[in-house]
Amino acid sequence: MTLAILAGRKGSYVIFLLLLFVPFVTFAVLAVYSSYWFVLPLLTLLTALKLEPQFRHGELAKMPQKVAGLNFKLTIAYVAAFAFAESSALPCLT
């Protein structure tokens, strides 16, 4: 049993949307409150917006590869943003 099976079609769509778009909300908040460099990961939002209708319409055959590609681009942009931001602007845990 997977979470998608337990959640059903509508529930798995909601879970997919949350997993797809919450990182972008997080980067927007980081860009506002920490460093403007965190706008870099937001450049991949267009790719995420293209994945949503494909998932909604059930075009799932290539979805894992497309999501992996999005994750790769998002990770590269996040690492670049983190590297370019001043260390004093980064959020700390303490």
**Residue 85 DSSP symbol:** S
Rounded CA gap, 72 and 68, in Å? 6
Rounded CA gap, 93 and 37, in Å? 19
| Nearest partner of 86 among 51, 43, 49, 35, judged by Cα | 35
pLDDT band at 93 (very low <50, low <70, confident <90, very high): low
Phi then psi dihedrals of residue 57, to 5 deg: -90, 5
pTM equals 0.85
The residue-averaged pLDDT of 70-74 equals 97
